[in-house]
Structure formats: structure tokens, C-alpha cells
Amino acid sequence: MALSRFEYVKQFEQEEKLLPNCWVVVRIDGKGFHRFCNVHSFTKPNDLDALQLMNFAGMTVMQEFNEIAIGYGQSDEYSFVFRREASVYQRRRDKLVSYVASLFTSAYMFHWTRVFDSRSIAMSYPPSFDARAVLYPTDENLRDYLSWRQADVHVNNLYNTTFWNLVASGLSNADAEKRLQGTLASDKNELLFSQFGINYNNEPVIYRKGTILLPKSVYVKDKKQRLIVPIFDDLIGDAFWVTHPEILDKRAKTDDVFELAENLTQPIVLYQLTVQERRKAGHHKAETTKSVLETGSS
Amino acid sequence: MALSRFEYVKQFEQEEKLLPNCWVVVRIDGKGFHRFCNVHSFTKPNDLDALQLMNFAGMTVMQEFNEIAIGYGQSDEYSFVFRREASVYQRRRDKLVSYVASLFTSAYMFHWTRVFDSRSIAMSYPPSFDARAVLYPTDENLRDYLSWRQADVHVNNLYNTTFWNLVASGLSNADAEKRLQGTLASDKNELLFSQFGINYNNEPVIYRKGTILLPKSVYVKDKKQRLIVPIFDDLIGDAFWVTHPEILDKRAKTDDVFELAENLTQPIVLYQLTVQERRKAGHHKAETTKSVLETGSS
Amino acid sequence: MALSRFEYVKQFEQEEKLLPNCWVVVRIDGKGFHRFCNVHSFTKPNDLDALQLMNFAGMTVMQEFNEIAIGYGQSDEYSFVFRREASVYQRRRDKLVSYVASLFTSAYMFHWTRVFDSRSIAMSYPPSFDARAVLYPTDENLRDYLSWRQADVHVNNLYNTTFWNLVASGLSNADAEKRLQGTLASDKNELLFSQFGINYNNEPVIYRKGTILLPKSVYVKDKKQRLIVPIFDDLIGDAFWVTHPEILDKRAKTDDVFELAENLTQPIVLYQLTVQERRKAGHHKAETTKSVLETGSS
Amino acid sequence: MALSRFEYVKQFEQEEKLLPNCWVVVRIDGKGFHRFCNVHSFTKPNDLDALQLMNFAGMTVMQEFNEIAIGYGQSDEYSFVFRREASVYQRRRDKLVSYVASLFTSAYMFHWTRVFDSRSIAMSYPPSFDARAVLYPTDENLRDYLSWRQADVHVNNLYNTTFWNLVASGLSNADAEKRLQGTLASDKNELLFSQFGINYNNEPVIYRKGTILLPKSVYVKDKKQRLIVPIFDDLIGDAFWVTHPEILDKRAKTDDVFELAENLTQPIVLYQLTVQERRKAGHHKAETTKSVLETGSS
């Protein structure tokens, strides 16, 4: 059974390598999440737990690749931005795209019970995600990409918030849709306020802006540590980029300590701190590996 | 927050479409499975349950895509062969590769407890897989690809079987490795027989040949139904291809009913039959969707 | 001036290699040949000399690459079919496509005076061509590609023949176009016959079928030699492929000698014979290189 | 002869589009120019006429594409830098690479007699060139690419100048090669000076630096006009880029008039001026097309 007679088939592998010195965005998208949300009774228009679960999966991907400069999640999608100089898997497209999709999927499932146990939502069937890689040659192109995704969540969330309030008030889905046809953002803001007393700008920022993930040094109980930190902020304007210069320039001073403030209570922050506590306490002496995930089930 | 100002960034997506009329092999590979096997105490050199779990994941992928002609699994890898004319996702490379990787991963995790509960193996951390797509222009190239993978499992399994028997007999890993250096297949066969009384050809065929998955019509309790059937056979010689002409030629008569015989007791066969029974019994009236997976957890 | 500091820029070269075991068609197309034909007063709808010049360029390309199985030219385009196993430039796309375009262009210019001197047509400005590479996985796909090009010349030439006869009879271009709007092939055949006494099937076959180029062994003056031979034939039906089995199967018996018959007087045949005579006569002792082109200008 | 039955073969064309917003370098390389130079008795180590002919071909390419920011030629190669935003042929790789190769080739042949007639060098066989496209995401990468090519000509020309002086002094090629083995740049400079009285820095700058081509506004006889201007300068340092800001930034003020100075006598400048004179004089009333080339042969 000579292996060698067949080995020529390896030559048919044509693994594309992503152009050097470009930003690489890998974007994950949920497959058939409309149905997945229905089957698992996710709250409309936003289910905070489901979004937090996405953040757990995003956190896991960012822990695995230290060459990711920023992550950005909204709805059932997540974007991971690999640095221009990232050399992961020699920038092989298939490997990168498939592995990020797989890792995100498994982390999503792994943290399911952590998030949904209190609501007794069992997983009826496994979710899945696809992924694509897109290259951006300039910092401006990259910022515009992220702005595009954040503008998208704004447009969708304003619509969905109005739509589901109309439905909750008694309209059929079809009537709610008709009611919103042709309306501008200002119309929807006005409708929300006049009809439901809702000031859209007071809606939770995670719904309006999505979640930004950054690796940051933080102080917790007087100890400095590196965490993947969720940030809820506008990233379209310049202020965000001035505040976080290390995203575009990895040589920027990053010894600045990030102030967690109210984000200290974010689920993925609490989780990371718990894992580190446990590790320090020697619960996992046998397993001193890098992955933070391992400690999850004990 | 004008979406339109940023939408130009979509033009940077350069989704490659796979050449028409070629066989498309998507091969899944476990990431870091050496460690994953150790952490979860999988039996060496083969863990039957772990292989069956791979088959569950392979079954799920084949249920999702009716354009897969054949699946083939061995060790921590699985190959899925999409037909020449497959039009899934318009043959977009990123989508296909990432979605198969994600679906395989989630199915692997979803069926974990089904397979490992009796042994009380909890998942310590989530597994992940990468994937690649390779094109083969001719039937001969495709057969040689599958032969390459089956020759590979033969070479590896013969080595591993001998290696772990030597270790079990008291040799250190290093000594066992040294003992096998430069040995031919015949030497290893001889060593197994003379030293351990093992006739390699009597080793379980799933270890020696891997698992072939084919969609087949079968009779169970006098009822004809379509199942994803595991087959343990040599696929290097011609006999296999004569017996299963529908793989290479989708117009081949496929109304022949496949004889399950002893494969009736294979876990993924039993599982599929159970799901169909349940469905028939109306346990899942509310959910009459296509996915077989949904019924898993009830 | 350290070279090494800059050499990293080589890594940005991403030369695609064409999938192995596929037929590779490189098709040349004239750039702006509508104008080029007008400026150089080429006869409408077909200029025999201009077509013969295309054949000279086609011949040159086929002499350069012995991995071309068949060439096919019509109008201002030429297709070259590289064998499945062709290894030229390691199948690098950029190299192959650009070099064939360049070689075709230079041969076209080099033979210009040979063809046009008798008509005193000087080249007013240099012509140019673009090229593309297309892969075909099966013999059937390849035959359909060539049939597509030959069906194209039929459709165009029938139209053009009718159109220019109408114009010659006094119609304006616009009126001739209007006259032909919506007509079927049978209408045009009928119009040609009834109005101009032309039986389309008696038009020169090179206009109706284009030119096929094949490398063949021929007998000239009792001596066997290899030539690039122009053939004017239907290649859509099976007969052509039965007559020339070596195109699809390079192991087919090719020691059969091809009967030149009336093609002996084709310009590229006469040219090749002259070159070989000259070479034999030792006119070019100093230059015993492989290229047939060198002897052109003496 | 239904065209439609075969048209599906068009779907096999997989024309890659070059990533937006990257610099696109198309580099032309002479095929087998070692032999081409020998056959046509080009002077070693540099033949000024042959280099000027390359510049004529480079000029033609730059006249054709107004999206080329800079051209750079040395030895038998020429690089053309298309702007980030260039949209030529929708950035289709095959088209761009093949057409530039073809146009360069035909211009090289078209201007041959203009350059070589005085030396009575007839073209024995047609030259050819291949081409490749390479993408550079940043201005720095692009500058490093051009620096790489200019450093290359320096290294090669210093070697060749020394080598051919040694050969001219009586050494065999093999002995000259041996003499230079392991020598540094400083060694070669010293050898040239001590043995042949040559100060390398006084060698013609076109040999030492290659030719830069830029589109510039110039004043000739008090009339402002656009020309493709040859510049012989160091492009590795910053000074060049400060002097010609429009290369990297197309919005830079380009109404500055470039001072031709001694470059007024460069062959391609004289040629362009002659063509414009002729055109103005109405010699070519019939042909008022854009191409400057047409006037060449009258």
C-alpha cells in the first residue's frame, strides 16, 4: 500500500496566502440565526444574554490570537482585525478563515450553559457560523470598514426597536412593517418617543453600538493584568482612535492602564478574573497551559 | 450616520469561486488534537468512542449537504467530497470551507455527551478544526486522493499499534521509537505477531481502514429510508467503486437498496433510526424542519 | 546601497499556479482591432492576408511551446490549448499569459512585411493583444470551448458576409443593419443567394470555420518532417477528433503521416519549408538555434 | 450550430481583480535577452541605443495609461506603477498583465529601426517579454520596491563594468569571474580606478541609475505641453520624492513646470516633440486619433 504512488495529489492544494502588510478582517456570520433565535426563544429585538454569549466567543478568539488588534461584534456577527504584520499560519486563507470559524463556534457552545442555565434554555440543535477574510490596505479603509459595521447596527437596531414596540402594542408584523415603510431615522426616533415614551439614545449602548473588544492592561485589586476588555463606544469618530492608539500602531505606548469602571461587571470580565483566581489558587496545577478555556467546567 | 459613506469597503471582498466541474474536497483537521486526546484520556492508539464521535460529526455534515458524494474519516481528520456540479454557496471558497469547519465542530460538541457520558468524560475545553478545499479535475485524481488518505491511515495505524504495544510491554516511548526506526511494514507485522500474538489483519477494520460515509437507501423493519451509512472497506481497489457506482456517477441506478448487515449496530445508524422513530411518533410536531439534529436533546 | 534592506518586497509577489491536470486555454484578443483594420485598409468582411498573418503569429507560438495540443484562430483572436500535464513556467499564470501575448504580438509584427509587402501596406502604428487563461477540467469541456469559438465565427461571418454585400450593393451601414435585424441564419443564407447569387457554403472555408493549427508529421519531397499545419475543418462534430486522436490523448499513435494535400500551398507551410531548406543549405551555420524565426529577414 | 449550447464554458473564466487601493506594479522582463543581445551585437556591458529603445517602449506604455504614476527601466526590465485608484480594465489581472506585455513588445519592435538604423542592425528574430503584477499596500512598500530595482542596477552594473573591462584587458570570461569572486563594492571601485583609470561615479548616469519616466508639463519654445520625461536620478533617498510629490499624491500641485534642461536632447523627448510638431502642421489630418505612435513611419 504505497503511500508514495498517491502523494502527487498534494500538489493540487493551492493555498492562497493573504497579501502582506494589509489589515486582515475575518468576519463571522451566524448561519440561519433567524430560526436559531426563534427556536431558542431569544428576546426581540435584542437578547442581552445571547449578545454576551457572542462576546464570550469573541473573547476566546482574541485570547487565541495575539495578533488581533480589535474585535467588533453586533447581532449574530463578529469581526476580528488581524494586524498588518500578522504571520499566523503564514497568512494562509483557508486555514485562518476555517479555524476562526471553528474556534468561535466551539466557544459559543462551550459557554452556552454558563450564560443560559439560569433561564433553562437548552440547546436544541448546534449553531454554526461561516467566515470570510477581507484585506484592507490602509488604516482609513480599516476604520471605514468598522464604521460600516457600526452604522449597520445603528440602522438595524433603530428599525428593530421601533418594529417590535409596534408589534408589542398590538400591530401584526405585516402592519408594523407597513407602518415603517419609507420612514427616516428621525421619524422612528419621534415615533418611539411619542408613542412609547422611549428616548432611543437611552437604550442600552450594547444594543446601539455593538461590542468592541480590546486587549488591555487593567488593575484589579491592585494587580495589573492583561484582559480582553469589552468597550461600548462610538468608533466612527476620531475620539475612539485617539484614546486607543495601540489599535492602529502597535508601537504606541500600551503600558497605560485601562480603567475598567462599570465594565468590571461585564460577564466576560468577571469570567476572566475568576479563571485567573482559580489558576492562581492552584486548582489547575496539572494543566498549566495557555488556554483560559480549560478551567471552565470544574 | 450614513451607511452609504462606508459601503465602498464591500468592494474589497474578493471571494474566490471554485472552478466549475471539478471535484471539491473539503478536508477537516483537528487543531492540537495530540493534546486534546491526552487531556480527555482517549485510548491509545485508537479510541473507538472518539472515532464514533468523529463519525457523528461527519454524518451531520453529510445530512446538511446533499451534494456530498462521499465522506471519509480517519484519526482526527474528515474529508467531504462535493460533486463536480455542486453549486452550494455558488462554490464560494471562504463560505464553504468555514461553514463545513463550523458545522463539523458544533456537531462534534453536540454529540459529545451522547458518546462519552457512559465513560464520564467531561469536555475540559472546546475542540477546534481547520479546513481546506482542494480541487480534483478527474475521477482518477479523486480516487487517488481518497487512496492517499486510506494508505495514510494504514501506515500510521500499523506504526501506532506496534508502538503502543511496545510501550505497554514496558518500553519507554523513546525506546519504542528507536525499536521501530527503519522497520518495514512486514517487520512490524512480524513483531506484532511474534511478540504480542497479534495478527494485524484481525485488528478492527475501523482502525485499519477508517470510515467511509455514503448516503444510501436501506430497509429497516421493512421500511425503505435514506440514511448516512458508515462503511468499512478498502477503497483503493476497483471493487469498492464497482459496488458503489453512484459516487462517481450520480445518474447511476441508486434505487438499489443497501444491505446494512452488521452495520445496523453502528452508533450513527442507531441514532438516525431513533430520530426517525421519534419524528414519526410526533414527538416533534412543532418542529418539522429538515435538520435531524434538533431531536437530539429531548 | 544594500540590496538586502529592500528585498522583502519580493514577498508581495503572489504568483498563482494554474490547477494541475486541467486543460489550459490561453486566448489572445486584438485590442482595438476595429480601428486597426480601418487604418490599414483591411478588406471587409474578411481580409485573407490579415488572417494569414494571424496564422503566422499562431504558428510562432506553437513552435515555441511543444505542450500546445491545438491552436485555433478566427477573426482577431487565437486560442492555444496547453495539455493537461503542461509544466511550462510551472504553470504560473502571469508568466504564461503575458509571454504568449508578447510572443504573438512580436511574431505578428515580424511577419507583417512578408504578408503585406505586395500590397504596400505599411504599419501605421503597432498592434497589441491581450490574453487570458481559462482552465477546463474535462475533455468534453475543452471540446465545448472550441465548439463555442467555431460556432461564434459561423454566426459572425454569416452576418458580416451578408452585411457587407448589402453595403456593397448600395445600402448605408445603418440600413444594412436594419435589414438584418431579427433575421435567422436561414434568412441570411436565402438573402445571400437570392440577392447576390452567393451560396454561403461555397465561401472560403477559412472564413467560415477559422484556422485549426496542429503539429503534424508530413512528407514533403519524400522527406518526413514535423510542421505546424493549418487545417480548415469542422471541429464541433466527432469526426475531427477521431481523425486527430493525438489532440486529446498524447499517447495516441502520432507516427501516422498527415497528408498535406492542398494545404501544401498555405503560406505558413511554404514558409516553414523554406526555412528548413535554408537551414539545410547551411545558410545559417552560425546560428544553429532552435528558433525558426531567426531566418526570416535574410 | 447553436452558440448557446456551448456558452456555459464562459463560466470557467475566473478573472482575478486586483485588490482595490493598492499600488499595482507591472514589471516587464525580457525573455532570453542574454542571447538576444549577443545575436544583435549589443555593446557590453551597456548598449546606450538598446537602453533608449527600452525607453521608447516604456514611453509608449505610459502614453497609453494615464493612471501610471511612474515608470522605471533598467537592463531588460521595466516597471510601471499604476495608481492606487487605477480602474483600468476593472483591475482585471490577466488583461492588465498581458496587454502591458503586448504593448511594450510592439512598441519595442516599432521603434527598432528608429534607433538602430544608423548602426545597420536588422532584427534577426522578434524579442519577447513576460510580465507580472505585484500589489503594494503602502507608499513605503512602493518606494522600497523601486529602491530594490535601483539598488539592483547599481550592484549589477558595477560588477559588469568591472568584468567587461577585465575581459577587454585580455582576461578570459572565466578568469574575470574568478578575479571578482568575493569582492566588495569598494574593491571593484578600487580595481576600476587603479587598473583602468575609471572613476565609477563618472560613468553615465543612465547606466548607474536606470531611467525614471514621469509625465510632466514642460515648456518647449515657450509652449507648455505634457510629455513623458526621462529622469536620471537617485530615487532611494527622500529628495527625489520631495521634488516630485505628484507621484505619491496625485492631488499634489502638478501645474509646476518641469525644467527639461539637458534632458531636452533625450531621444524620447525629441521624438515626442517631433510628433507634436507634425501633428500641429496638419500632416496627419486624416488621423486625429489619440495615439502618438501613428506618426512614426511617415
pLDDT per residue over C61-106, tens digit each?
999 999 999 999 999 999 999 999 999 999 999 999 999 999 999 9
List all residues of chain B from 32 to 51 with a beta carbon under 8 Å from chain A: 35, 39
- Per the prediction, chain B carries an average pLDDT of 92
List all residues of chain B from 143 to 202 with a beta carbon under 8 Å from chain A: 144-145, 147-148, 151-152, 154-155, 185
The domains of chain D, with CATH numbers, are 23-138 (3.30.70.3000)
| D16 part of contact set with chain A, CB < 8 Å | no
Task: Check pLDDT > 70 for residue C184.
Answer: yes
**So what's the ipTM on this one?**
0.91
Instruction: State which residue of chain C sits closest to D134, comparing Cα positions.
Output: C13
Q: Write the DSSP string, chain D.
A: --GGGTGGGGGG----BPPTTSEEEEEEEESSHHHHHHHTT--SS--HHHHHHHHHHHHHHHHH-TTEEEEEEETTEEEEEE-TT--GGGGBHHHHHHHHHHHHHHHHHHTHHHHHGGGT---SS---EEEEEEEE-SHHHHHHHHHHHHHHHHHHHHHHHHHHHHHHTT--HHHHHHHHTT--HHHHHHHHHHHH---GGGS-HHHHH-EEEEEEEEEETTEEEEEEEEE----SSSHHHHH-TTTT-TTS---SPB--GGGGGSHHHHHHHHHHHHHHTTTTTT---S-GGGGGG-
| A19 part of contact set with chain D, CB < 8 Å | yes
Q: Which residue has the cell 491511515?
A: B153
Query: Which residue, among B4, B5, B9, would best test binding to A if mutated, counting the most A CBs under 10 Å from its CB?
Result: B9
Q: What's the CA gap between C207 and C180, in Å, rounded?
A: 20
Q: What is the mean pLDDT of residues B240-267?
A: 89
Instruction: State which residue of chain A sits closest to C19, comparing Cα positions.
Output: A12
Instruction: Kindly determine whether residue A106 and residue B95, on different chains, have CB atoms separated by under 8 Å.
Output: no
**Would you state the pLDDT for residue C292?**
40
Q: What's the CA gap between C252 and C262, in Å, rounded?
A: 25
Q: Sorting pLDDT into bands at 50, 70 and 90, what band is A222?
A: confident
**Would you state the pLDDT for residue D283?**
58
Q: Sorting pLDDT into bands at 50, 70 and 90, what band is C281?
A: confident
- Per the prediction, chain D carries an average pLDDT of 92
**Would you state the pLDDT for residue A139?**
98
Helices B173-180, B139-168: axis angle to 10 degrees equals 130
Instruction: Kindly determine whether residue A236 and residue B1, on different chains, have CB atoms separated by under 8 Å.
Output: yes
- pTM of the entire structure? 0.93
Task: Check pLDDT > 50 for residue B103.
Answer: yes
| B259 part of contact set with chain A, CB < 8 Å | no
More confident residue, D222 or D3: D222
Residues of C in contact with D147 (CB under 8 A): 5-6
Binding partners of A (≥3 Cβ pairs within 8 A) = B, C, D
pLDDT digits (tens, 9 = 90+) for B5-20: 999 999 999 989 999 9
Pair A173, A166: CB distance under 8 Å = no
Task: Check pLDDT > 60 for residue D102.
Answer: yes
**Would you state the pLDDT for residue D292?**
40
Q: Sorting pLDDT into bands at 50, 70 and 90, what band is C15?
A: confident
**Would you state the pLDDT for residue A287?**
44
Query: Which residue, among B150, B126, B28, has the nearest Cα to B77 in the 3D structure?
Result: B28
Residues of D in contact with B14 (CB under 8 A): 16-17, 19
Binding partners of D (≥3 Cβ pairs within 8 A) = A, B, C
- Per the prediction, chain A carries an average pLDDT of 92
Determine which helix (DSSP H) or strand (DSSP E) holds A33, and give its type and residue range: helix A33-39
Q: What's the CA gap between B27 and B50, in Å, rounded?
A: 18
For CA atoms C211, C214, C215, C217, the dihedral sign is: negative
pLDDT digits (tens, 9 = 90+) for C207-244: 999 999 999 999 888 888 999 999 999 999 999 999 99
State the CB neighbour count (10 A cutoff) for residue C285: 8
**Would you state the pLDDT for residue D1?**
53
Q: Tell me what percent of the residues of chain C surpass a pLDDT of 90.
A: 82
Q: What's the CA gap between D33 and D47, in Å, rounded?
A: 13
Q: Sorting pLDDT into bands at 50, 70 and 90, what band is B4?
A: confident
pLDDT digits (tens, 9 = 90+) for D140-156: 999 999 999 999 999 99
Residues of B in contact with D16 (CB under 8 A): 14
Q: Sorting pLDDT into bands at 50, 70 and 90, what band is C47?
A: very high
Instruction: Kindly determine whether residue D14 and residue B19, on different chains, have CB atoms separated by under 8 Å.
Output: yes
**Would you state the pLDDT for residue B90?**
95
Residues of D in contact with B91 (CB under 8 A): none
CA distance A83 to chain B (A): 17
Residues of B in contact with A296 (CB under 8 A): 124-125
Count interface pairs A-C at CB distance under 8 A: 14
Q: What is the mean pLDDT of residues A172-177?
A: 96
**Would you state the pLDDT for residue D297?**
38
